[in-house]
Amino acid sequence: MVKKIGKHIAALAMVLWSVTGLYGQDFSINASSSKTTVSLEEVFRITFSVDESGVDIAPPNFDHFIVVGGPYSSQSYQNINGRSSMRISLSYDLVARELGTFTIGPAKGKKGRREVESNVLTVEVKERARRSQGGGATSPPFEAHNLALLLIWDVPYYIFPVLALICNIIVVSGNSINYIRAGNLDLKILIPYLIGSIPFAFIGGSISLDKEVFEIILFLVLSIAGFLLLINSNSYKETELKIRQIPKYISIIIGSILGLLSGIVGIGGGIFLSPILFLLKAGYPRQIATTASLFILINSISGVFGQFTKQNVLDNIIDYWPLFILVLIGGQIGNFLNLKFLSNKLLAIITSGLVIFVAIRIGLKIFS
């Protein structure tokens, strides 16, 4: 009798265990957003979390958003008073397609026959301020105007590239820091270009050219730069882009070519990289502006080291220390005017006019 009762109890326990495994314990999915109010092109993260292992999470449709990253899965464990728990999270990086207030539907979780839904989220997408401090504005890279101003001053050609590179460093350092603080840096875009550009900027900086060859290269670079600034002046306004993944070998090749030009001529390369990134749809305007700014900064540093391998370069640049102070002050004034009075488009047009004017002067000198 006792044995029969024991068998019945064991059978009942197995049934209860099976039912528990089939239907699962109660669990819930929590949906959260890193931001509830965003602007166009601003990346934010949606996370779905569950305190239960073995749950399959199906995300909702992100109808009014573009998935630019993810899904990213993570697990965390904690032990409180001898009781262990585990949290599983699934995250997506999103960018809004349009302005408005939108609801992100619930994610669905399933374990066995047990199904649950997460809470819904509401995200408001607003127009971003036209110009904002802290790296929000997607101003065009203006390293070409450093070249133009140095040419107007009739700086000797043999010292010209290193002075231009140092001016680039002075001007873009602050902007680069502001862009990074604003959260606009995407290393996946930047690093492949730097892999190619850094060594070639050093090589370019170490190359010594005859004056005639240098002036021809400079004429071509300024002509193309001025033209790109002019035709791409509209690219610096807030526009929606459908991002494409660029093969890394293409990015490395582009970076190598621009790095070599940077070291030889003294241009940071951002003035070429920025329209290329827009054309390839490699990122959003904020990301492109940040990438171009850091590309100029790092290329210029590498090019300066390459220039220092030449004889007497370091001794010659000491005499130009007042120029560096003026560039620093002028850069701050330019940023102030950009933020308060002048649009990025107007600045691009003004700079392109200056660059084209200087290119014409060089061309007349070469071909006359």
Residue 285, domain member (yes or no): yes
Residue 13, domain member (yes or no): no
Q: Check: CB of residue 201 under 8 Å from CB of residue 169.
A: no
Q: Check: CB of residue 105 under 8 Å from CB of residue 60.
A: yes
Q: Check: CB of residue 97 under 8 Å from CB of residue 240.
A: yes
Same domain, 34 and 121: yes
Q: pLDDT value at position 147?
A: 64
Same domain, 253 and 340: yes
Task: Tell how strand 108-111 and strand 65-80 pair up.
Answer: unpaired
Residue 328, domain member (yes or no): yes
Residue 131's nearest CA partner among 317, 353, 345 is 345
What is the extent of the structural domain holding 154? 143-367
Same domain, 258 and 358: yes
* CATH value at residue 120: 2.60.40.10
Same domain, 165 and 278: yes
Q: pLDDT value at position 292?
A: 86
Same domain, 202 and 301: yes
Instruction: Please work out, in degrees rounded to the nearest 5, the angle formed at the alpha carbon of residue 26 by the alpha carbons of 17 and 92.
Output: 125
Any residues with CB less than 8 A from the CB of 210 and at least 6 apart, and which?
none
Q: In what order do the strands lie in the sheet with 100-104?
A: 37-39, 121-126, 100-104
68, 92, 126 - which closes a domain? 126
Same domain, 70 and 164: no
Q: What are phi and psi of 65, to 5 degrees?
A: -135, 160
Q: Which amino acid is at 308?
A: F
Same domain, 111 and 78: yes
Task: Tell how strand 83-96 and strand 100-104 pair up.
Answer: unpaired
Residue 112, domain member (yes or no): yes
Q: pLDDT value at position 144?
A: 60
Same domain, 281 and 355: yes
Q: In what order do the strands lie in the sheet with 29-33?
A: 29-33, 44-50, 83-96, 65-80
Alpha helices in 83-235 (DSSP H): 143-152, 160-181, 187-206, 211-231
Q: Check: CB of residue 59 under 8 Å from CB of residue 120.
A: no
Same domain, 175 and 219: yes
Distance between CA atoms of residues 261 and 144, nearest Å = 12
Any residues with CB less than 8 A from the CB of 114 and at least 6 apart, and which?
23, 24, 26, 27
Tokens of 154: 């009739």
H/E element, 271: helix 270-280
What is each CA distance from 228 to 83, 140, 235, 368, in whole angstroms?
A: 63, 11, 10, 26
Same domain, 217 and 352: yes
pTM over 0.75: no
Residue 138, domain member (yes or no): no
Q: pLDDT value at position 16?
A: 46
Residue 2, domain member (yes or no): no
Residue 8, domain member (yes or no): no
Sequential pLDDT tens for the chain (368 residues): 555 555 555 555 454 444 444 444 566 788 888 888 888 767 888 888 887 777 788 888 888 887 777 778 777 766 666 666 677 888 888 888 778 888 888 888 787 777 888 888 888 888 764 444 444 444 455 566 666 667 666 677 778 788 888 888 888 887 788 777 767 788 888 999 999 999 999 999 888 888 888 888 878 887 887 777 666 655 544 444 567 788 999 999 999 999 998 888 887 777 788 778 877 778 777 778 788 889 989 999 999 998 888 877 777 777 777 777 877 777 666 666 655 555 666 666 666 676 777 778 778 877 77
Distance between CA atoms of residues 37 and 44, nearest Å = 9
User: Concatenated DSSP letters for 283-317?
Assistant: S-HHHHHHHHHHHHHHHHHHHHHHHTTSTTHHHHH
For tokens 């582009």, name the residue: 254
Q: pLDDT value at position 79?
A: 64
User: Concatenated DSSP letters for 209-253?
Assistant: --HHHHHHHHHHHHHHHHHHHHHTGGGGS-------PPPHHHHHH
Q: pLDDT value at position 17?
A: 44
Same domain, 262 and 299: yes
Residue 250, domain member (yes or no): yes
Same domain, 294 and 225: yes
Q: pLDDT value at position 155?
A: 73
Q: pLDDT value at position 121?
A: 87
126, 158, 193 - which closes a domain? 126
Task: Tell how strand 121-126 and strand 37-39 pair up.
Answer: parallel
Q: What are phi and psi of 64, to 5 degrees?
A: -100, 15
Count of domains forming the chain: 2
Q: pLDDT value at position 175?
A: 76
70, 99, 126 - which closes a domain? 126
